[in-house]
Amino acid sequence: MRKIEHLGIAVKDLKASNQLFKKLLGKEHYKEEEVGGEGVMTSFFQVGETKIELLEATRPDSPIAKYLEQKSEGIHHIAFDVEDIHAEVERLIAEGFEILNETPKAGADNKLVVFLHPKSTNGVLVELCQERK
Q: How far is the CB of 127 from Co ion (least distance, A)?
A: 5
One of 11, 65, 79, 92 touching Co ion (CB under 5 A)? 79
Q: How far is the CB of 41 from Co ion (least distance, A)?
A: 13
Burial class (CB in 10 A: 0-12, 13-18, 19+), 58: middle
The interface region with Co ion, picked from 2-10, 15-23, 67-75, 92-100 by CB under 5 A, is 2-10
Bridge-based pairing state of the strands 74-81 and 3-10: antiparallel
# chain residues binding Co ion, by CB under 5 A: 4
Interaction between residue 40 and Co ion (CB under 5 A): no
Comparison of 6 and 96: residue with beta carbon closer to Co ion? 6
Burial class (CB in 10 A: 0-12, 13-18, 19+), 71: exposed
3-state secondary structure of 61: coil
